Amino acid sequence: MKIEDGIIAVISQALTDLYAVGASEMPEIKLEKTKPIFEGDFTFVVFPVVRSSKKSPEETANDIGNYVLQHTTKVSSFNVIKGFLNLVVNSAEWIQSTTAFDTFVGKNLAAKNQKVMVEYSSPNTNKPLHLGHIRNNLLGYSLAQLLIKAGYDVVMANLINDRGIHICKSMLAWQRFGQGETPQSSGMKGDHLVGKYYVVFENKIREQTSPEIEKALQGQWSSADANIQKRYEDTLNKLQAAKEDKQISKLQDDIKELVRNQAELMQACQAMLRDWEAGNEEVLSLWNTMNSWVYEGFESTYSRLGVKFDQYYYESNTYKLGKDIVQEGLQKGVFFQKEDGSVWIDLSSDGLDEKLVQRGDGTSVYITQDMGTADLKANQFGLNKSIYVVGNEQDYHFKVLFLIMQKMGRSYAEGMYHASYGMVDLPSGKMKSREGTVVDADDLLEEMYQTAKSKTEELGKTEGMDDAELHNLYHRLSLAALKFFILKVDPKKRMLFNPQESIDFQGDTGPFVMYTYTRIRSILRQAESWTRPMEAAPSDMVLSSGEVQVIKLLNEYEVTIENAAREYNPAAICQYALDLAKAYNRLYNEVSILKETNEVIKKFRLELAESTATCIKSTLSILGIEVVERM
């Protein structure tokens, strides 16, 4: 039993004995960490029980404090600040608690008996992974590891966006301008080669449409398609009447997209998509060839990044299931069809608007395949929770998807959750895929490796290591820097990533936490005669403030994981790892360990060091960070 559990039990009995609070009336009793400005370890807020005590908050707190002192040795003293009862834990309890650390530190919490799928990565097969994908992958993988540690049965899934108009852009550009180039002939990774032709397509269509877009914005453009012409004229009229910059920009973009979609290259791309869905053998052969290049490239990047998946889904399979749901929705009256054959859902009563679920030509859109995938996942695994790790630019999309599945009567819809996160910027600004200005994931990983190497060599921390050990050190340090820097930011916040700042052995970084771990392992290696378990430390042993702080943090391990898992927030794990590393470094500078002459005290401190190292290693593993034993 943890210290706070025993104190909670005594407080519960106090409410019964002092105020005759019965089981049915018993409030939930929680202990909070005492604020640093007050003396104490745990604080009990008494305001919820004053109705039963019929006394002031201060009197109630004093009553309960005195009862606790009389009925348990876990608490040595207390003080009252208004309605806050601050309890000071007996040093003997902290000492005794160290013997129990091995029963929970580093291990998974009790099984929740709930099946959870975490879907992340979800790349498009028209371009390589970039910095934005890195944040997605790191968040998804660490969230999955966090939920596993918290006792959930987790499936890590990757939905590959391997079909759609964006895929056809790369295919058509390669077909027209590639001259048979392959990964082998070019020496490029397959995903990089396909991404090159996505940029080629955008450059070519920009060349085709720039003059026409300028004319259209000035009201001098016409389309042979009467429906398109009417949409253009309606949009132009709105643009000419618009006053606000945001509205003007949106309407200008609408006109640009209308012109782009009528260009010969885009028309050919849309025809290729229709041929793909119709099963055209030539198009499918090209699609299979280029996708195989991309998948090989993706797997190489995933391996280097240290993420993995239990289950893969492909939109080329699930979009058909989505089309079946569209037909089901039409029969149920959830969807409606417009004159051009397109299928929509009206969500205006839910505060949203109309949403397209299938085009007039019968081709699917993103949400079509997402509906099909949702059904497939739920039927395959019987999920209690389905978590989508996707950037916040898709917030609206997932609101629509979840509403649709609720209206379709899917029982699993209540368990669908969008783990939204902010975009990643660099000191140089925002990335743009169409312009080819993204930061390539492979390039960034290599830059991080080289930075870790140079920083480590500057500090002279490589003595006695062979080439293989040095490579492993640089690799793990670079990933520790990258992962920690990205994951320590609240997922919902937009972030600025600076590779140089991420590798700092003194800052709030992964390398700093990892260095603390290796420092502890070095101490334990030097204590050659020490073996576990330790001898029982005397209950009257005086603990330093540093020792108490480390012990308190170790006792917070389980609750930190529970809270972080409930909030889907790996950043809380980063903060905990930082707090523990900083606390141990203060302790290291405060007391002697290897030179301690009292063998019992020395073994106690070694035990504490071992538990701290185990805890740091466990928390870093949640973040997908592998430690090194020396550096």
- Residue 429 pLDDT greater than 80, yes or no: no
Flag whether pLDDT at 437 surpasses 60.
Answer: no
Mean pLDDT of 452-478: 87
Q: What distance in Å separates the CA atoms of residue 279 and residue 273, rounded to the nearest whole number?
A: 10
CA 617 – CA 611 distance, rounded (Å): 10
Q: How do residues 146-187 score in pLDDT, each as one tens digit?
A: 999 999 999 999 999 998 889 999 999 999 999 999 999 999
Tokens of 559: 């609750």
pLDDT of residue 180: 95
- Closest to 43 (Cα-Cα) out of 2, 91, 75: 75
Give the model's pLDDT for residue 25: 87
- Cα–Cα distance for residue pair 420/492, rounded to 1 Å: 6
At residue 188, does pLDDT exceed 90? yes
The pLDDT of 467-472, averaged and rounded, is 92
Q: 139: pLDDT confidence band, cut at 50, 70 and 90? A: very high
Q: What is the DSSP letter of 124?
A: B
Cα separations (Å) of 364 from 67, 135, 316, 358, 371? 68, 28, 11, 5, 11
Domain boundaries, the chain: 3-89, 163-303, 441-622
Residue 475 contacts residue 403 (beta carbons within 8 Å): no
**Which residue in this structure is represented by tokens 């695994």?**
381
List beta partners, residue 153.
115
Whether 100 shows a pLDDT value over 90: the answer reads no
State the chain's mean pLDDT as an integer.
Answer: 91
Phi, psi of 189 (to 5 degrees): -60, 145
Mean pLDDT, range 453-468, rounded to an integer: 83
434 pLDDT more than 50 = no
Across 230-238, average pLDDT: 90
Residue 102: the pLDDT is: 67
The predicted model gives 232-248 an average pLDDT of 90
Q: How large a percentage of the chain has pLDDT more than 90?
A: 73
pLDDT in tens, 330-348: 999 999 999 999 999 999 9
Contact between residue 344 and residue 312 where contact means Cβ atoms under 8 Å apart: no
> How far apart are alpha carbons 507 and 578 in whole angstroms?
10
**What pLDDT shows up at residue 530?**
63
Which residue would you say has higher pLDDT here, 91 or 284? 284
Fold entry, domain 441-622: Isoleucyl-tRNA Synthetase; Domain 1 (1.10.730)
> Homologous superfamily of 3-89 in CATH?
Arginyl tRNA synthetase N-terminal domain (3.30.1360.70)
- Residue 631: name the closest of 485, 510, 529, 528 by CA: 510
8-state DSSP, 416? E
CA angle 409/414/418 to nearest 5° reads: 120
**Is residue 594 within 8 Å of 522, Cβ to Cβ?**
no
Most confident of 47-51, 383-387, 599-603: 383-387
Confidence grade of residue 609 (pLDDT, cut at 50, 70, 90): very high
- pLDDT-derived band at 355, boundaries 50, 70, 90: very high
Dump the DSSP string for 22-89: -TTTPPPP--EEPPTTSS-SEEEE-GGGHHHHTS-HHHHHHHHHHHHHHH-SSEEEEEEETTEEEEEE
How far CA 34 is from CA of 39, 51, 89, 120, in Å, comes to 7, 24, 11, 38
What pLDDT is attached to residue 542? 83
- Percentage, residues of the chain above pLDDT 70: 95
pLDDT above 70: residue 352? yes
pLDDT at 3: 86
Residue 436: predicted pLDDT? 45
Can you tell me the mean pLDDT for 29-54? Answer: 93
Three-state DSSP at 117 gives: strand
Helix or strand run (H / E) with residue 116: strand 115-119
Exposure on the CB side of residue 36, measured as CA atoms within 13 A: 2
Q: Are 302 and 441 in contact (CB under 8 A)?
A: no
Q: What pLDDT score does 425 carry?
A: 79
Residue 329: phi, psi to the nearest 5? -65, -35
135 or 502, which is more confident: 135
Q: Could you tell me the pLDDT band of residue 103, with boundaries at 50, 70 and 90?
A: low
With 0-12 CB in 10 A as exposed, 13-18 as middle and 19+ as buried, what is 68?
buried
Using alpha carbons, select from 593, 622, 598 the residue that is nearest to residue 610. 593
Which has more pLDDT, 81 or 496? 81
Distance between CA atoms of residues 428 and 631, nearest Å: 33
DSSP string for 529-587? T--SSPPPPPTTPPPPHHHHHHHHHHHTHHHHHHHHHHTT-THHHHHHHHHHHHHHHHH
Q: Above 80 in pLDDT, residue 104?
A: no
pLDDT class of 223 with cuts at 50, 70, 90: confident
In this predicted model, what pLDDT tens digit does every residue of 270-317 receive, in sequence order? 999 999 989 999 999 999 999 999 999 999 999 999 999 999 999 999
